[in-house]
Amino acid sequence: MEERYLPRSPLVHQHLVWDTAVGSRVEDPTGRQLIDFTSGVLVANIGHSHPRVVEAITRQAGRLLNCYDAPHPLRGEVARRLVEAAGETFEAAALFTTGSEAIDAGTKLAKAFTGRWEVVSFVEGFHGRSVGPASSSGLASVRRGFGPLIPGTIVVPYPASFRCPVRHCRDACDLTCLQVTRTLIRANSTGNVAAVLVEPYLGAGGAHVPPAAFWPALRELCDELGALLIFDEVQASFGRTGAMFAFQSLGVVPDILVVAKGIAGGVPMSAIVTSRAILDALPPGSLGSTYGGNPLACAACLATLDVLESESLAAAALTKGHFLIDVLTDFALRVPQLGEVRGIGLSLGLDFVTDRDTRTPNPRLAEAVVFAADAAGVVVLPPAGEGGNVVRLAPPLSIPEADLHEGAERLMRGISQAVDSFGHGA
Ligand SMILES: Cc1ncc(COP(=O)(O)O)c(C=O)c1O
């Protein structure tokens, strides 16, 4: 039925039929259980079908499911909790349904607030598939075939040191890419940069994590340009990187924070959090959306925030992330085709190569690893990055130690099998 009635998706997305998912376990329709190293797609930070979320949405479903843009008791409370969790200069929030929708809203707000129209974004950045976010994406696979996209986008290099776009500072980043960025802006901008739109780490672009010095330098650049800094934390928020919001551990404060995925424990919801002045830059009604801030999503969000705090899941992401990075980095010493293990918090990428020196991407091996991991009993994300060679791991932050360790064992078994069946240098 899927093949007949739904859009086609790559085979690698179809390897597993999800029948149920609870906590960190997924079960297919035959009853085979796998350990989840995906959280769906970085959504189930608190674990799948957390009982407190199930209880909250069940209760809410019998009271009020939809009231369009009318006030209801949970909406203001969600905004207050998000603002307080973000702290700093944040004062107000707007609620939406998907990450793409919130990115669009954040970009429009920046344009309205500054009276300008250009957006600086990054090579291999991903902000969603609708036309606004796709226009800011630096992934060819997202842009190709849809031109002309929204004018005024200036795509600049992201400090991805394993695959340094400037090359000369490979592995020893000295932020030369920011000099290139200044040149590109000077050459392409009409002096109207409204915003710099950036991910705290490249998600779909292959799990690249910038060096710490990048963030204050980027903030300085925004201030020089008079542009707003928009942090796309659609996948980096709600504990994933080891802090409630990623910016909180990077020593930089964005003007607009965009969040989604982990916000409501699996129920579709997204938000922007910003200052009152920026949010008021658009006239009343301009940020409305049929399902934005709907009661069911709000109930799920409040329960999710409670769980994140009461189970200290941001701190858990750090310790569990360190464990995974250590064990897999050690393993990579014995697997020349595993070029780098990298990540932040509990969001990791395994960069498969044909050759360690040239670092040529090895997408076929990455794809084989996804299938082999599945066969070994652990679900991993489909290959990411422009080269299609980075297998990403993002277990629920609540994953029990036993599942984390067993999942890592199964994954290493899967990788070894995939490498063996390919032969060296494959
Ligand atoms: C960093 C980032 N921004 C935006 C989006 C788009 O979110 P959505 O698919 O909910 O529209 C994604 C989705 O994966 C993402 O990872």
Per-residue model confidence as pLDDT tens digits over 231-290: 999 999 999 999 999 999 999 999 999 999 999 999 999 999 999 999 999 999 999 999
Mutate to test the pocket of ligand 1, among 121, 141, 199, 234 (most ligand atoms within 8 A of CB): 234
Largest CA distance in the chain: 61
Give the ligand 1 atom nearest the CA of 101: 11
Q: Are 383 and 391 in contact (CB under 8 A)?
A: yes
Q: How far is CA 29 from the centre of its chain?
A: 28
Distance separating alpha carbons of residues 419 and 302, to the nearest angstrom: 44
Output the ligand 1 site: residues, CB below 6 A.
Answer: 98-100, 103, 126-128, 199, 203-204, 232, 234-235, 260
Q: Which is the closest atom of ligand 1 to the Cα of 41?
A: 14
- How far is ligand 1, taken at its centre, from the CA of residue 426, in Å? 32
Nearest CA to ligand 1 atom 13: 128
Q: How far is the CA of 259 from the centre of ligand 1 (A)?
A: 9
Helix (H/G/I), strand (E/B), else coil: 346? coil
List the alpha helices (DSSP H) in 92-211.
99-114, 131-136, 140-143, 176-188
| Helix, coil or strand: residue 386 | coil
Distance of CA 260 from the midpoint of ligand 1 (Å): 8
Question: Rounded to the nearest whole angstrom, what is the distance from the C-alpha of residue 111 to the centroid of ligand 1?
Answer: 21
User: What atom in ligand 1 is closest to the CA of residue 199?
Assistant: 1
Contacts of 93 (CB under 8 A, 6+ apart): 78, 79, 82, 83, 271, 272, 273, 274, 279
Instruction: Give residue 289's pLDDT.
Output: 94
Residue 335: other Cβ atoms inside 10 A: 17
Cβ burial, residue 8 (10 Å; 0-12/13-18/19+): exposed
Residue 350 burial (CB count, 10 A): 28
Indicate the SS3 state at residue 170. coil
Which atom of ligand 1 approaches the CA of 100 most closely?
11
Phi then psi for residue 345, to 5 deg, are 55, -135
Which of 188, 194, 256 has the alpha carbon at shortest distance from 222?
194
Q: How far is the CA of 97 from the centre of ligand 1 (A)?
A: 11
What is the reported pLDDT for 423? 65
Write out the DSSP string of 177-196.
HHHHHHHHHHHH--S-EEEE
Residue 377: burial class (beta carbons within 10 Å; 0-12, 13-18, 19+):
middle
C-alpha separations of 416 from 340, 405, 420 in Å = 15, 17, 6
Compute, in angstroms, the gap from residue 150 CA to the centroid of ligand 1: 18
How many whole angstroms from 127 Cα to the centroid of ligand 1? 5
pLDDT at 426: 47
Handedness of CA 277, 290, 196, 234 (dihedral sign): positive
List pLDDT tens digits, range 165-174.
Answer: 887 777 788 9
Q: What pLDDT score does 194 carry?
A: 98
d(CA 264, CA 237): 11
Residues of the chain with confidence (pLDDT) below 50: 425-426
5 burial class (0-12, 13-18, 19+ CB within 10 angstroms)? Answer: exposed
Q: Name which residue sits closest to atom 8 of ligand 1, judged by CA.
A: 99
Using the mean position of ligand 1's atoms as its centre, give its distance from the Cα of residue 164 in Å. 24
How are the residues of the chain apportioned to helix, strand and coil, as percentages rounded to the nearest 5?
40, 15, 45
351, 206, 265, 316 alpha-carbon torsion, rounded to 10°:
50
Q: Specify the amino acid at residue 24.
A: S
